[in-house]
Structure 1
Amino acid sequence: MELSDLPIRDDLQGKSPYGAPMIDVPVTLNVNENTHSVPAEVRASILEALSGALENINRYPDREFVALRLALADYVNDGAKGHSAPVTPESVWAANGSNEVLQHVLQAFGGPGRSVLGFPPTYSMHPIIAEATGTQWVTAARDADFEISPATAVAAVKEHQPDVVFLCSPNNPTGTGVSLETIEATYDASDAMVLVDEAYIEFAPDDHPSALRLLEGRPRLMISRTMSKAFAFAGARLGYLIADPAVNDALRLVRLPYHLSALTQAAATAALAHHSTMLATVEQIREQRDRLVTELTKMGYTVWPSLANFVLFGGVVDPHATFRGLLERGVLVRDVGIEHTLRVSAGTPEETSAFLEALSDVDALARLEK
């Protein structure tokens, strides 16, 4: 039997699932993971917390994940890019990765007969989550160099009249940011719910403002984040949302009961207690990102400035051939489907060197074949 033989929903016919390659190679730089390991002292604290949680694993977990929400609020208030008012635990939501957070948002505010507006190229899961929730995915073009001006955002909102707007800042896969002026103009242009996806915000320069500065007095504004990237916690699956408490009440209507396991809550809460240690690698990753920008530019590629932990570079004559050539040399990057481009994550210094050496080798071979 084939998938097409099953009576799946009509709107899912012919669709493909999310499919970033999972290939065992020495240097994996394709899904923007933090390639630094969790420090030993933090692992010890997490193990202790997990041991404690296991004592009551026969019971359902705290449905309201109170301790975790308090820890997340403390972390955000302790230095996350500045904001106009302290974040309270009541303003925090969490789920199994930011993808589930986005799913909750569209289950509550999207759905059949409603639409969500995005600005591609952007995070590939945005349209997939829209499809999964029966929400119409509508798009608008970006400005030059993947920017979104206030005027462009407002025009798109007025044209499409969406129920939800997704803005990704820093944007995946381009690394570009969205200004507070654009976010504010988008919010003011309609009655839509506006979600700013800040999965990579910790990698942005210290003077790059978070949408948290706009949160007070804007009950339709939502900010999603994750512990997968800067926290090196991708395998734990913990994403969170910061919004008006009423928004979280709406999300309670659609979440599954006890959706966050006791083990997830314990591990994430323990990691957040060590957030300074967990984030110690952020500056190192920024350095490797900037090194990639510099070296790729020297090699003759077009490189877009990045506020995230990855770099999009253009001028790739045959992305598929270059991808295969790098893979043959033990380096996995990402073809994101933008013509003549590839995306590479910033890893350790050794991983960056391995990528640059492999790319130089592939380039030299391509010139010889010509």
Structure 2
Amino acid sequence: MTFTAPLREELRGVEPYGAPQIDVPVQLNVNENPYGPSEAVVADVAAAVADATRTLNRYPDREFTALREDLAAYLGHGVTPAQVWAANGSNEVMLQILQAFGGPGRTAVSFAPTYSMYPEYARDAMTDWVVGHREEDFSLDVAHAVEVIAKHRPSVVLLPSPNNPTGTALPPATVTAVCAAAAEVDGIVVIDEAYGEFRRAGTPSALEVLAETPNLVVSRTMSKAFALAGARLGYLAASTEITDALRVVRLPYHLSAVTQAVARVALRHADELLARVDDLRAERDRTVSWLRGQGLTVAESDANYVLFGRFADRHAVWQGLLDQGVLIRETGPDGWLRVSVGTPAEMTAFHTALTATLGRGLG
């Protein structure tokens, strides 16, 4: 018997998303925090997981009440537990947003270059996808954004800040202007602050305008600054009208008892886990200066990664680094590469490998 799986036509031939997973000594391609938890955090996590294990025969709290309380306290800015939502990584948070507010006959908008998963969320939620453009310096022109929103009338606008892959943060005036334009067409605006904790001093969070902006959603993750990528916990703050809508589309008991327990431990140790953020900021700024000193063009970054270029053959540069045991990311506009910020030793290895690669005339 022959059989052809009835795959949706738009999915035929599509490769699954994912950065290369290559076992090399220096991995600087997926923006992970290079500093693992302390033994004190490990012990606290182990104890919390042990407690959760004792009741794994029962379903977890599907409203993750205690975790929402902890996340609200961490976010501050007057955010209440009812305004908080969480899921398995910010990826699931974004997909749930598109499931609730997108769908057939609706449109989602972003501005390129932007996070490469956004069009996949839209596709999976059967939502039309429209992409505008950013300026040469990767900032967002408000007039252009307003024009795109007025023309396409999106139900969802997705804006990472800091932007992935460029590291560019949005000023509050831009956020409020985009939210006002989206409100005119009954749309919501998601400011994706997955890398928000890495912002440079003086760069504000969109949380500062959340209280007076009912169609604003501010999303975060514990994967980056909290060094919790393996635990898969993303979350957002928004009006209760929005968070209640997400409860409709979530799968039953979508956050396991173990995930909730681990996330709550991380929040209890927030001061310790976030202490390395300053180190990574400083290393990022040193990396920007060093790359510019090599004559390269480098985007301003408020994240834990740096976009640099421009290369006639960026793949040759990427391969040249990989041949020396350093893995970075071939992403963003043509001619650009992105390097995650690692430990000082990892960044020294990156400097050495890039110098040798460019010295051979590659790129």
Instruction: Please confirm whether the aligned pair reaches a TM-score higher than 0.5, indicating the same fold.
Output: yes
What is the Cα deviation at residue 218 of structure 1? 2.2
When residues 28 and 2 of structure 1 are mapped into structure 2, their CA distance, relative to the original with a 3 A threshold, is farther
- Could you tell me which amino acid in structure 2 is paired with residue 42 of structure 1? V
| Percent of aligned pairs sharing the same letter | 53
Distance 1:239 1:97 in 2: 4
Partner residue, 1:80: none
What is the Cα deviation at residue 11 of structure 1? 2.5
Among 308, 311, 319, which residue is 2:306 paired with? Answer: 311
Among 240, 244, 249, which residue is 2:239 paired with? Answer: 244
Mapping for residues 7-18 of structure 1, pairs under 5 Å? 7-18=6-17
When residues 52 and 150 of structure 1 are mapped into structure 2, their CA distance, relative to the original with a 3 A threshold, is same
How far does the alpha carbon of each residue in 1:74-124 deviate from its partner, in whole angstroms, 9 at most, with x for none?
A: 1112xxxxx4xx111111000000000001100000011111001111111
8 Å CA contact 1:54–1:263 kept in 2: the answer is yes
How far does the alpha carbon of each residue in 1:240-289 deviate from its partner, in whole angstroms, 9 at most, with x for none?
A: 01001111110011000000000000000011001000101101101111
How far does the alpha carbon of each residue in 1:193-245 deviate from its partner, in whole angstroms, 9 at most, with x for none?
A: 11100000100013111111111132211011000000000000000010011
Distance 2:239 2:160 in 1: 19
How far does the alpha carbon of each residue in 1:114-142 deviate from its partner, in whole angstroms, 9 at most, with x for none?
A: 11001111111111111111111111111
What is the Cα deviation at residue 2 of structure 1? 12
Among 191, 208, 212, which residue is 2:203 paired with? Answer: 208
Distance 1:14 1:331 in 2: 30
8 Å CA contact 1:150–1:181 kept in 2: the answer is no
Distance 2:8 2:111 in 1: 26
- Could you tell me which amino acid in structure 1 is paired with residue 53 of structure 2? L
Mapping for residues 108-127 of structure 1, pairs under 5 Å? 108-127=100-119
Partner residue, 1:43: 42
How far does the alpha carbon of each residue in 1:8-43 deviate from its partner, in whole angstroms, 9 at most, with x for none?
A: 112223322212100111100000000111111111
8 Å CA contact 1:289–1:311 kept in 2: the answer is yes
Among 260, 267, 281, which residue is 2:262 paired with? Answer: 267
How far does the alpha carbon of each residue in 1:343-370 deviate from its partner, in whole angstroms, 9 at most, with x for none?
A: 0000100000000000001111227xx9
Mapping for residues 170-319 of structure 1, pairs under 5 Å? 170-189=162-181, 190=184, 191-319=186-314
Distance 1:38 1:76 in 2: 21
Name whichever of 322-331 and 205-214 sits farther off.
Answer: 205-214
> Aligned pairs, how many?
360
What is the Cα deviation at residue 186 of structure 1? 1.1
8 Å CA contact 2:86–2:234 kept in 1: the answer is yes
Query: TM-score, structure 1 length as denominator?
Result: 0.95
8 Å CA contact 2:176–2:213 kept in 1: the answer is no
How far does the alpha carbon of each residue in 1:296-322 deviate from its partner, in whole angstroms, 9 at most, with x for none?
A: 101111001100000000122311111
Dislocated runs of 4+, deviation >4 Å:
none
Name whichever of 92-101 and 147-156 sits farther off.
Answer: 147-156
> What is the SS of the residue equivalent to 2:133?
coil
When residues 287 and 2 of structure 1 are mapped into structure 2, their CA distance, relative to the original with a 3 A threshold, is farther
Distance 2:260 2:239 in 1: 22
Name whichever of 134-143 and 264-273 sits farther off.
Answer: 134-143
Distance 1:234 1:350 in 2: 21
Distance 1:19 1:187 in 2: 31
Query: TM-score, structure 2 length as denominator?
Result: 0.96
Among 343, 346, 370, which residue is 2:341 paired with? Answer: 346
> What is the SS of the residue equivalent to 1:119?
strand
How far does the alpha carbon of each residue in 1:134-153 deviate from its partner, in whole angstroms, 9 at most, with x for none?
A: 11111111122111022121
When residues 2 and 172 of structure 1 are mapped into structure 2, their CA distance, relative to the original with a 3 A threshold, is farther
Distance 1:28 1:313 in 2: 17
1:134 counterpart = 2:150 = no
8 Å CA contact 1:175–1:312 kept in 2: the answer is yes
Gaps of 5+ in 1: 78-82
- Could you tell me which amino acid in structure 2 is paired with residue 365 of structure 1? R
- Could you tell me which amino acid in structure 2 is paired with residue 90 of structure 1? A
How far does the alpha carbon of each residue in 1:161-200 deviate from its partner, in whole angstroms, 9 at most, with x for none?
A: 1111011100000010112111111111122111100000
- Could you tell me which amino acid in structure 2 is paired with residue 67 of structure 1? A
